[in-house]
Structure 1
Amino acid sequence: MDSMRDRFAPVVTRLLDEDPRVAVVLAEVGADRFGEALRRHPDRVVNVGIREQLLVGAASGMALAGLRPVVHTFASFLVERPFEQVKLDLGHQDVGAVLVSAAASFDWPAGGYTHMAPGDVALLDTLDGWTVHVPGHPDEAETLLRHAVAAGDDKVYVRLSLQSNAARRPVDGQRFLTVREGRAGVVVAVGPMLDAVLAATEGLDATVLYATTVRPFDADALRRATATAGTDVVLVEPYLAGTSTAAANDALADVPHRVLGLGVGKAELRRYGQFDEHLAAHGLDARSLRERITRFTAGAVPAGV
């Protein structure tokens, strides 16, 4: 199976062919994947070099000129390093772009901490009006990329990862999906965490929701699920632990509830290791998730009892 990033360039190249508003802005990373697109659309494929602040600034200028820029590099260089430009050039000027990241929280451990960005979604949460897609499969990434580009002039972040679920789901760019129904707790699995959550909750009487669009947060889906499964909620996110706990608390503000946010810890892991070792170290492998979810929901009273 190809990866989400493998799917990215061909999809965006087709979008360049289909829509004269679409432009691509790169900062060297991934430029080799757009050679054919550059030949066909030299005026709408721009590589600014290793200048991430310029990457976002150039995209905002294109947006002001009426284009729909798709902006791509590693997450740490797309959200964290040029955050001032994301805040001002896009947000303050009220123009949109599609930011598409690679490397996720720690897809490339050998790259070190400079190439890790577990805080990217939490950082965007400090700004207004961002839609955030976190696909869990390459087919979902293609669907959500097309949603993002077609979203008028909105500000959209698409978070790609090498981690992938085995099967695609029918995502629509808006709602959470109900994957499993139970009566003793709700587990929200975000993007590529779904397979691990399904393995972790096998045999447990829990509802599992699948979230690939996390901003806006689907409060209605969570409320419907807790009406039958009780109000113990576990969020399993592939980025900073607790990123969505405030959104879940807001969704359930009028009912007694408990929320546990699981994700990447704040403590820096100072050894490269392998991707799976980082998952386990942060307690995001299926065995660790089962222990943590079971401990949290132990003694929970099922809904309707």
Structure 2
Amino acid sequence: MDTMRDRLAPAVSRLLDEDPRVAVVLAEVGRDGFTDAWSRHPDRVINVGIREQLLVGAGAGLALTGMRPILHTFASFLVERPFEQVKLDLGHQGVGAVLVSAAASFDWPAGGYTHMAPGDVALLDTLDGWTVHVPGHPDEAEALLRHAVAAGDDKVYVRLSVQSNADRRPVDGEHFVTVREGRSGVVVAVGPLLDAVLTATEGLDATVLYATTVRPFDAAALRRATEAAGTDVVLVEPYLAGTSASAANDALRDVPHRVLGLGVRRAELRRYGTAEEHTAAHGLDARSLQERISAFLGTRAGAGIASAKGA
């Protein structure tokens, strides 16, 4: 199966052909995928070089002229390094853009900590008015990218990852999807962590919600789920642990509830390893999730993990 990022250049190239408002701004990363698109639209495929602050500033300038810019590079260079430009050039000036990242929290461990961005969504949470999409499958990534471009002049972040679920789910750019229903708690699985959550909760009488759009947070879906499943909530996010805890607390502010936030831990892992080893070290593999979710909900998972252990 191709990756989410494999879909980016073909999907954006089609958008460039279809919509004269669309422009793409790059900072070297990903430029080879846009060679054909640049030949057709040299005025709307722009590579600023390794200048990430300029990447955002140029995108904001295009937006001020009425364009719909798509900005792309690694998450650490798209959100963290040029954060002042994201805050001022886009937010303060009241213009929008579609930021599309790569490498997620630790997709490329060999790049070291400079290429990791587990805090990107939490950082955008300090700003007003951002929509954040976290697809879990290449088909979902393409659908959410199109949704983001069509979203007027909003500020949208699309977080791509090489990690993926086996199957696509229906996504609409707004709502959580109910994947499994139960009565002993609610587990919200974000993006590419759905498959691990489903394996981890096999045999548990718990509701599983699938979230690919995390901002705005679908408070109504969480409230509906807790009416039947109870108000113990586990958030499983592929970025900094607890990033959505305040949003879940706000959704349930008028009822007694508990929230457990699982995600990337704050402690830096100083050995490169593999993405799978980083996933396990942060407790986001299926076996670790089973233990942590079961302990919080006060129940034990069924035969799914046990069978895997005996294999």
TM-score calculated relative to the size of structure 2? 0.96
Deviation string 1:120-144 (CA, Å, 9 cap, x unpaired) is 0000000000000000000000000
One-letter code of the match for 1:86? Answer: V
1:96-135 matched pairs, under 5 angstroms: 96-135=96-135
Q: 1:7 & 1:117 partners in 2: Cα distance?
A: 21
**Residue 145 (1) aligns with residue 145 (2):** yes
One-letter code of the match for 1:128? Answer: D
Deviation string 1:119-178 (CA, Å, 9 cap, x unpaired) is 000000000000000000000000000000000000000000000000000100000000
Match of 2:179 in 1: 179
One-letter code of the match for 1:157? Answer: Y
Q: 1:187 & 1:9 partners in 2: Cα distance?
A: 34
**Residue 253 (1) aligns with residue 253 (2):** yes
**Residue 92 (1) aligns with residue 92 (2):** yes
The unaligned stretches of length 5 or more in structure 1 are 301-305
- SS of the residue aligned with 2:128? coil
1:249-288 matched pairs, under 5 angstroms: 249-288=249-288
**Off by >2 Å, runs of 4+ in structure 1:** none
Q: 1:85 & 1:203 partners in 2: Cα distance?
A: 47
Deviation string 1:179-214 (CA, Å, 9 cap, x unpaired) is 000000000000000000000000000000000000
- SS of the residue aligned with 1:162? coil
Q: 1:275 & 1:217 partners in 2: Cα distance?
A: 27
- SS of the residue aligned with 1:239? strand
Q: 1:136 & 1:216 partners in 2: Cα distance?
A: 17
Deviation string 1:8-42 (CA, Å, 9 cap, x unpaired) is 11000000000000000000000011000100000
Deviation string 1:97-138 (CA, Å, 9 cap, x unpaired) is 000000000000000000000000000000000000000000
The unaligned stretches of length 5 or more in structure 2 are 301-311
Q: 1:151 & 1:174 partners in 2: Cα distance?
A: 11
Match of 2:233 in 1: 233
Match of 2:306 in 1: none
Q: Work out the number of aligned pairs and report it.
A: 300
Match of 1:27 in 2: 27
1:296–1:41 CA distance, 2 compared to 1 (3 A):
same
Deviation string 1:40-69 (CA, Å, 9 cap, x unpaired) is 000000000000000000000000011000
Match of 1:303 in 2: none
Match of 1:242 in 2: 242
Match of 2:191 in 1: 191
Q: 1:149 & 1:31 partners in 2: Cα distance?
A: 20
Q: 2:143 & 2:72 partners in 1: Cα distance?
A: 17
Two-structure CA RMSD over aligned residues (Å): 0.8
Q: 2:123 & 2:45 partners in 1: Cα distance?
A: 28
State the shift of 1:285 in Å.
0.1
Deviation string 1:233-287 (CA, Å, 9 cap, x unpaired) is 0000000000000000000000000000000000000000011100000000000
- SS of the residue aligned with 2:152? coil
One-letter code of the match for 2:200? Answer: A
- SS of the residue aligned with 2:269? coil
Match of 1:67 in 2: 67
Q: 1:43 & 1:273 partners in 2: Cα distance?
A: 41
One-letter code of the match for 2:274? Answer: Q
One-letter code of the match for 1:288? Answer: S
Q: 2:283 & 2:299 partners in 1: Cα distance?
A: 22
Match of 2:53 in 1: 53
One-letter code of the match for 2:154? Answer: D
State the shift of 1:299 in Å.
6.5
- SS of the residue aligned with 1:85? helix
